[in-house]
Every structure is written in structure tokens, then in C-alpha cells.
């Protein structure tokens, strides 16, 4: 290059031909150069004159160019020297706003402030050749495209306001590993995607794009957002963990992907009529309790992008035999347009608590006669009821009717008296008679076989006698069963695991006259109101009630069975101080991960359980009950001057505080 042919004050320069390192040194020193086009340039990488200042191995090193605003870089394909990386060095190219370069070349920098900013970066095809590599998934918690391995290196990040690519497929190529784009445009589709969001951005930025990147708002401080009609899909993880998001409008959206609103503060959401598809778990983990559908026809529910539009009586079926998770939707009030129920009575929608605006889902009934609840609670009520309050006398068989109300979230039985039905008594009597006959027949058969074996010399006297003793015991058990008639229990009862199908029940009030409580199978329960008459909390009574948050144990309780509270992972406070229990059994408090406060009664004398974890334990007695042990991290609160009576029950890591 003849330097005398290029004035030092040139502002725009286009070069074609072959350049070496010396040529590049001269070009970079042009102090007023604003636009440089090197599209059809080849580099003489093997020249002996090269000093490695700009052309070094397979890297094009850029420095200088103090006034450069736009740079169009070479086509690196063909038989000429190929660059794998273009590197912006130190404080160079401070005014650069636009850079055009080949799509199979990476861009990186060592800018001293940690980041380099470009307004626009355009990747172009290289003679039709694109370096396609395997796409990589978006991280659930990352909103941009930086590879994990570069977090530990000293390479700076390149922020780009607008990234232009031949197609969106190239977003995942390693050549973009240092690039953090805010928007990306595909020249193939003429579409623009928003790929990065910061809470300082204005929501008007959404009006200038056609789509959103997965997880783009994840973890942001958004309080409300309006999705403009130009955006048709809410991608996977879009608003995941936006803990402050309480309002969203999305008129014009057609598709909501998996976990799109997971972990938000939304309590109510309106699904516009434009929505055609919703991926399962789209609202999982949010606080939504009401969903309003505006369309006369339901969206398609599907799993993990595998759709098969098969509207048979079994619901929509999918490849890999996967099932839609409806647990979240079953716990919401789902409002559908008036006169649209027949349209929604397809596939999985039939399993959800749908309600038209004029319908009720809260019911109160007075039961005049036990055993008649089935005539009161119709199939329509079973399908729509979210709240039921009962008053009157019930049979245990009536509870089976309540178990069919699969969308219940509130159940009040406080004003009921529940007794064993004649039907149940007959079944128990038949079971007793069956066992009596079985024991008798087994005893007779055992004696007969033993006599035959003994007489034939195949059984010794000791075995023969033992068999007859066992047979006599079985015979007496048979006679005992046969002599006793099953009688009705005069007390109020609730059979165990009777509500196992109520997967959405959050709140229950138990009968005021209930004396004994078993595990009722309330897997989703959060609040249980116990009656003042309760005397016995049986073994496993609250075991694995993982969502239980509120419970008050009445003073009437005299017995708590083993493992009674095992697995109550959400319960933070358990107060037994008003009870009169004398013994705590094994594993009573196991796996209570959230328990912060435990109060024991003055009546406690013996305990075979081990209490550990970061728990404040309060007990107003002078010495530790027999067998009670405390593990690490427990903070024990006991009466003043009683430390000596408790020391043996504590490990060395227990903190003892005298009150």
C-alpha cells in the first residue's frame, strides 16, 4: 500500500487486494478515519515483514483506529488465510458503533473495564458456508449467551445493542460465546428477538421486537408488564422467579411455554381468546388462585413441545406416554365464558374445576338424616365444588361422597357428628365371621396333618405338641371372634385415609365431638382446625403432610402416637404445652425441616424420640424426661436453676438457656 496515495484526513476508506501487517499499522493510525470497508481484502499472513502486531497466527488483532465508527471486515473463506478470531485490544476502537464480520469467526476483547460496547454487530454468511454446530439449551436462570467456561477467564464481555444474524439458529454457535446481545435480528426471517432484559429498560422496548428469548425476565424486579400484540409467544422460563410480578396483560399472545410464570406473585391471570396452546407447568409454583379464560374454546394443553391433537375420551395423548401435570390448575378457580362448558368438556379440561361466571362453587348443606349425602351432593356439585360446609349427622359412608369432590379446597365438618353406618357394621361383622371360620379351619387342618405325620413317624413329639398348642390358640381366637358381635361406636369417628383423593384440599375443620384422629390422607392440607374434644392423636396422624403450615393442638389431647408429625416439612411452630401427654414415642418429630419452635408440656415423663436441628425447644420442668435426647444446633429453654437436670439429655453442641 502506497501511503502517499491516502490522505491522513480521509474519513471513509474501501480497500481491495492483499494487505500485510505493515499496511494495517498504517491504516489504524489514520486519526480521522470513520468508515473502513475491508470486505474483499486478503491478508498476507506468511510475509516475512509481518511483525505479529495485527496478524498473529489465526487471530486478527485490532488496535488503534481512534475515530472509527463503522468497520466492514474481510471475507475469510476460500483458499486464503482463515481467521478464527477477531480480537479488539485494550482501549482500541473507542468510537466503533457498527461492525460487520463473517459468521464463522469469533469476536473477543481484553477491554480493561471488563466490557466492550457495540451498537450493532452484523454476522454475514461466508460464500454460503455457515459453521453450524450443535445448539445448546438456554439455562433456566441465564438471560444471555455466555458459555459457562468463560466465567473463569479474563476475557471481557462484548455488549451489543443489536445483533444481526443470517438466522436464529446461529445464536447458539460458539463464535458468539463472548457476545451479550440485547436484541437479535434474523435476516432470513426478518424477525427481531429480545434476548436480554434489565430492570432499567423501558417496556416500550417490547414494541420493537417480534419475540422473546427463553428466561429473559427470569429473576427480574418487574411488578407488572403488558405484552404487546406483536409478540405471539411467551417462552419457557420467561418470568420464572419474578417474585414481585403481580399483573400481566398479554392480549395477542397465542402460546405460553412451560414454567413461563413459575414462581411469580400473580394471584389472578386472564387468558385472552388469542391463546391457542399452553404447555403444562406454565404457572407452576406461582400464587395464582384464579384463572379467567376469555375464549369460547379451550387452549390445547401439551407437554414439553410434544403435541398430538387427539381429543378422545382419555384426553390428549403424547409421544413418550407423558402425562399433563394438572395439580396446579386443579387448585385454582377456573372461570370460563358463559355457555362455553360444552366446548371445554374435552380431554384434560374435564378434570379441572371449571366455572361459568353465574355458577357457584361454594356450598352449605344441612343433612337431616345420615346416609343421605349422596342425594344432596350431585355429580355437578362433585365436579365444581371448591368449598363445602356441612351440618348434621353423617355416616362414615357419606365421607366417601366428599372424597369424590376432587376440587375441594375448603371443608367444614365442625358441626357434624359422624358414626359408623349399618352398611359398614355388616361388612365388619362379615369380616369377623370370615376370620373366625378361617382360624377354625386352619386349626383343624393343622391338628389333622400333625396327627397323621406323628402317627407315621414323620414328626417328633415336640413338634407335634407345639402344633396342637398353636392350633388350640387359633381355635380360641376363632371362638372369640364368633362370640362377639360388632357394635356401633357411640363416639364421633373419622376413618383413616378417607380423604386420599382430595389432592387440592388446603383447609379443614374437624367435628367438634371428635375424640380420636388418624391420618386422613390429606396430602395438600395447609391448615387443620382440631376440636376441643380431641383426646388422641394416633400414630402417623399428620405424617407426610408436607404442606401443613397451621395447627393448634388443644389442651384435651392426652396421647400422641409415634411418627405423628413425621414429614411435616412446612410446619414452623408446634405447641404441645397445653396438652397432658406423658410420653413421646419414636420419630415423632422426624423430617420436620422448617420447624423453628417446639413447646413440650409439663406432664411429659418419658420420651423415646431424638430432637435435632436449629429448633428452639421450650419445656417448663426441672429435669429431662426419661429417654429424651437432643442433637446438634438445638437451643433448649428450661426453668432457671434446672440445667443440671437436663445436661445428660444434650449433646455438646446444644445451647441451654435458663428462663
The secondary element (H helix, E strand) that includes residue 437 is helix 422-455
For 151, 579, 588, 597, 628, the CA distances from 611, given in Å and listed in that order, are 43, 19, 9, 12, 8
In contact, 599 and 581? CB cutoff 8 Å: no
Q: Is residue 570 part of a domain?
A: yes
The residue among 579, 636, 584 whose CA lies nearest residue 605 is 584
Give yes or no: residues 559 and 648 share one domain.
yes
In contact, 620 and 601? CB cutoff 8 Å: no
Phi-psi region of 343 (alpha: psi -120 to 50; beta: other; left: phi over 0): alpha
Give yes or no: residues 476 and 549 share one domain.
no
Give yes or no: residues 468 and 588 share one domain.
no
β pairing state of 191-194 and 179-186? antiparallel
Give yes or no: residues 654 and 562 share one domain.
yes
Distance CA 66, CA 254 (A): 48
User: Of 483, 500, 522, which residue constitutes the final position of a domain?
Assistant: 483
Give yes or no: residues 474 and 557 share one domain.
no
Distance CA 440, CA 434 (A): 10
Min mean pLDDT across 112-126, 449-463, 571-585, 615-629 is at 112-126
Residue 449 pLDDT grade (very low, low, confident, very high; cuts 50, 70, 90): very high
Retrieve residue 76's grid coordinates.
475469510
**Between these two residues, 574 and 165, which has the higher pLDDT value?**
574
User: Of 439, 460, 483, which residue constitutes the final position of a domain?
Assistant: 483
Retrieve residue 619's grid coordinates.
419445656
- Which residue(s) pair with 517 in the sheet? 537
Q: Is residue 449 part of a domain?
A: yes
Q: Is residue 150 part of a domain?
A: no
Q: Which pLDDT value is given to residue 127?
A: 47
Distance CA 280, CA 262 (A): 11
How do residues 534-554 score in pLDDT, each as one tens digit? 999 999 999 999 999 999 999
Q: Which pLDDT value is given to residue 35?
A: 96
Distance CA 539, CA 511 (A): 20
Distance CA 542, CA 539 (A): 8
The helix, strand and coil proportions of the chain, stated in percent and rounded to the nearest 5, come to 20, 25, 55
Q: Which pLDDT value is given to residue 108?
A: 87
Min mean pLDDT across 102-116, 308-322, 571-585, 586-600 is at 308-322
DSSP letter at 351? G
- Which residue(s) pair with 71 in the sheet? 36, 99
Q: Which pLDDT value is given to residue 52?
A: 61
In contact, 196 and 218? CB cutoff 8 Å: no
In contact, 212 and 253? CB cutoff 8 Å: no
Q: Is residue 603 part of a domain?
A: yes
User: Of 440, 462, 483, which residue constitutes the final position of a domain?
Assistant: 483
**Structural domains of the chain, count:** 2
Find the angle CA(586)-CA(588)-CA(592) to the nearest 5 degrees.
135
How do residues 163-176 score in pLDDT, each as one tens digit? 998 888 777 667 77
**CA 185: distance to chain centroid?**
33
Q: Spell out a b/e string for 32-50, using b for 16 or more CB atoms within 10 Å of the CB, else e.
A: ebbbbbbeebbbbbeeeeb
Average pLDDT over residues 105-130: 78
pLDDT of 194 strictly over 50: yes
Q: Which pLDDT value is given to residue 175?
A: 75
**Between these two residues, 79 and 489, which has the higher pLDDT value?**
489
How do residues 46-64 score in pLDDT, each as one tens digit? 655 555 677 777 788 888 8
Q: What is the CA radius of gyration of the chain?
A: 37
Q: Is residue 553 part of a domain?
A: yes
pLDDT of 415 strictly over 80: yes
Min mean pLDDT across 145-159, 286-300, 319-333, 634-648 is at 145-159
Q: Please enumerate in sequence order all residues whose Cβ is within 8 A of that of 207, keeping only pairs 6 or more positions apart, or say none.
A: 228, 230
pTM: 0.67
pLDDT of 313 strictly over 60: no
In contact, 286 and 310? CB cutoff 8 Å: no
- Report the C-alpha dihedral over residues 493, 496, 501, 507, rounded to 10 degrees: 60
3-state SS of 156-213 is CEEEEEEEEECCHHHHHCHHHCCEEEEEEEECCCCEEEECCCCCCCCHHHHHHCCEEC
Q: Which pLDDT value is given to residue 148?
A: 39
How do residues 134-160 score in pLDDT, each as one tens digit? 333 333 333 334 433 344 455 678 889
In contact, 107 and 86? CB cutoff 8 Å: yes
The residue among 85, 82, 88, 83 whose CA lies nearest residue 111 is 88
Q: What average pLDDT is seen over the chain? A: 85
Give yes or no: residues 659 and 544 share one domain.
yes
Give yes or no: residues 558 and 649 share one domain.
yes
The residue among 406, 363, 365, 399 whose CA lies nearest residue 383 is 406
Residue 344 pLDDT grade (very low, low, confident, very high; cuts 50, 70, 90): confident
β pairing state of 583-584 and 606-607? parallel
Residue 444 belongs to domain spanning? 422-483
Find the angle CA(151)-CA(71)-CA(127) to the nearest 5 degrees.
85
Distance CA 584, CA 578 (A): 15
Distance CA 121, CA 278 (A): 35
pLDDT of 627 strictly over 70: yes
How do residues 381-411 score in pLDDT, each as one tens digit? 998 898 999 999 999 999 999 999 988 999 9
Q: Is residue 454 part of a domain?
A: yes
Distance CA 600, CA 607 (A): 11
Report helix, strand or coil for 397: helix
Range 264-272 contact pairs with CB under 8 angstroms and sequence separation of 24 or more:
264/239, 268/292, 270/294, 271/295, 271/299
Residue 102 pLDDT grade (very low, low, confident, very high; cuts 50, 70, 90): confident
Min mean pLDDT across 115-119, 140-144, 189-193 is at 140-144
Give yes or no: residues 555 and 651 share one domain.
yes
Give yes or no: residues 476 and 541 share one domain.
no
The residue among 195, 128, 207 whose CA lies nearest residue 166 is 128
Q: Which pLDDT value is given to residue 137?
A: 34
Q: Is residue 289 part of a domain?
A: no
Distance CA 51, CA 45 (A): 10
Sheet with 157-165, edge to edge strand ranges: 12-19, 35-43, 70-72, 98-102, 115-124, 157-165, 179-186, 191-194, 211-212
Give yes or no: residues 436 and 546 share one domain.
no
Give yes or no: residues 631 and 568 share one domain.
yes
| pLDDT above 70 coverage of the chain, percent | 88
Average pLDDT over residues 100-117: 84
Diameter of the chain by CA atoms?
A: 129
| pLDDT above 90 coverage of the chain, percent | 50
The secondary element (H helix, E strand) that includes residue 587 is none
How do residues 239-284 score in pLDDT, each as one tens digit? 999 999 999 999 899 999 988 999 999 999 999 999 998 887 888 8
Q: Is residue 258 part of a domain?
A: no
Helix 422-455 and helix 461-483: axis angle, to 10°?
A: 160
Amino acid at each position: 500500500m502506497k501511503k502517499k496515495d491516502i490522505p491522513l484526513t480521509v474519513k471513509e476508506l474501501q480497500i481491495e487486494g492483499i494487505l500485510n501487517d505493515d499496511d494495517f499499522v498504517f491504516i489504524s493510525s489514520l486519526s480521522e478515519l470513520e468508515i473502513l470497508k475491508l470486505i474483499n481484502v486478503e491478508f498476507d499472513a506468511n510475509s516475512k515483514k509481518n511483525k505479529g502486531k495485527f496478524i498473529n497466527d489465526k487471530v486478527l488483532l485490532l488496535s488503534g483506529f481512534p475515530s472509527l465508527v463503522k468497520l466492514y471486515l474481510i471475507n475469510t473463506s476460500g483458499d486464503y488465510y482463515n481467521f478464527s478470531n477477531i480480537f479488539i485490544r485494550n482501549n482500541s476502537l473507542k468510537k466503533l458503533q457498527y461492525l460487520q464480520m463473517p459468521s464463522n469467526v469469533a469476536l473477543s476483547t481484553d477491554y480493561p473495564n471488563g466490557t466492550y460496547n457495540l451498537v450493532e454487530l452484523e454476522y454475514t454468511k461466508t460464500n454460503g458456508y455457515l459453521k453450524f454446530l450443535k445448539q445448546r439449551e438456554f439455562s433456566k436462570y441465564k438471560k444471555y449467551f455466555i458459555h459457562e467456561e468463560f466465567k473463569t477467564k479474563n476475557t471481557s464481555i462484548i455488549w451489543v445493542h443489536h445483533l444481526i444474524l443470517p438466522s436464529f439458529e446461529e445464536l447458539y454457535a460458539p463464535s458468539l460465546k463472548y457476545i451479550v446481545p440485547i436484541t437479535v435480528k434474523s435476516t432470513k426471517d426478518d424477525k427481531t428477538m429480545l434476548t436480554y432484559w434489565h430492570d432499567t429498560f423501558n417496556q416500550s422496548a417490547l414494541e420493537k421486537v417480534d419475540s422473546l428469548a427463553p428466561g429473559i425476565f427470569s429473576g427480574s424486579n418487574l411488578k407488572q408488564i403488558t405484552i404487546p400484540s406483536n409478540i405471539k409467544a411467551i417462552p419457557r422460563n420467561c418470568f420464572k422467579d419474578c417474585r414481585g410480578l403481580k399483573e400481566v396483560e398479554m392480549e395477542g399472545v397465542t402460546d405460553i411455554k412451560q414454567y413461563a410464570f413459575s414462581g411469580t406473585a400473580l394471584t389472578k391471570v386472564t387468558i385472552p381468546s388469542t391463546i391457542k396452546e399452553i404447555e403444562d407447568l406454565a404457572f407452576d409454583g406461582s400464587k395464582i388462585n384464579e384463572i379467567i379464560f376469555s375464549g369460547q374454546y379451550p387452549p390445547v394443553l401439551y407437554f414439553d413441545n410434544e403435541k398430538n391433537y387427539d381429543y378422545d375420551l382419555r384426553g390428549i395423548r403424547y409421544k413418550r406416554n407423558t402425562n399433563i401435570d394438572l395439580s396446579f390448575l386443579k387448585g385454582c378457580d377456573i372461570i370460563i365464558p358463559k355457555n362455553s362448558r360444552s366446548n371445554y368438556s374435552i380431554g384434560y379440561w374435564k378434570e379441572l374445576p371449571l366455572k361459568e361466571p353465574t355458577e357457584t362453587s361454594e356450598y352449605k348443606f344441612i343433612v337431616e338424616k345420615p346416609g343421605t349425602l349422596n342425594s344432596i351432593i350431585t355429580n355437578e356439585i362433585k365436579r365444581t365444588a371448591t368449598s363445602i360446609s356441612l351440618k348434621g349427622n353423617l355416616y362414615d359412608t357419606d365421607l366417601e361422597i366428599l372424597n369424590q369432590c376432587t376440587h375441594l379446597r375448603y371443608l367444614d365438618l365442625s358441626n357434624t357428628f359422624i358414626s359408623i353406618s349399618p352398611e359398614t357394621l355388616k361388612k365388619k361383622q362379615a369380616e369377623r365371621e370370615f376370620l373366625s371360620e378361617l382360624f377354625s379351619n386352619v386349626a383343624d387342618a393343622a391338628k389333622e396333618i400333625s396327627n397323621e405325620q406323628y402317627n407315621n413317624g414323620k414328626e417328633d413329639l415336640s413338634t407335634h405338641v407345639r402344633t396342637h398348642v398353636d392350633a388350640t390358640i387359633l381355635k380360641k381366637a376363632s371362638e372369640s371372634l364368633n362370640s362377639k358381635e360388632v357394635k356401633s361406636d357411640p363416639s364421633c369417628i373419622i376413618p383413616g385415609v378417607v380423604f386420599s383423593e382430595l389432592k387440592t384440599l388446603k383447609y379443614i375443620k374437624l367435628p367438634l365431638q371428635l375424640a380420636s384422629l388418624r391420618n386422613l390422607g390429606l396430602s395438600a392440607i395447609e391448615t387443620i382446625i382440631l376440636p376441643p374434644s380431641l383426646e388422641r392423636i394416633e400414630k402417623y396422624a399428620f405424617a407426610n403432610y408436607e404442606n401443613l403450615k397451621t395447627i393448634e393442638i388443644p389442651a384435651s389431647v392426652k396421647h400422641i402416637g409415634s411418627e405423628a408429625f413425621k414429614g411435616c416439612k412446612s410446619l414452623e411452630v408446634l405447641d404441645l404445652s397445653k396438652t397432658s401427654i406423658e410420653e413421646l414415642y419414636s420419630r415423632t418429630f422426624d423430617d420436620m425441616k422448617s420447624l423453628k419452635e417446639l413447646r413440650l408440656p409439663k406432664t411429659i415423663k418419658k420420651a423415646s424420640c431424638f430432637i435435632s436441628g436449629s429448633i428452639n425447644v421450650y419445656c417448663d420442668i426441672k429435669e429431662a424426661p426419661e429417654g429424651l435426647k437432643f442433637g446438634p444446633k438445638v437451643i433448649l429453654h428450661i426453668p432457671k436453676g434446672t440445667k443440671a437436670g437436663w445436661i445428660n439429655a444434650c449433646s455438646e453442641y446444644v445451647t441451654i438457656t435458663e428462663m
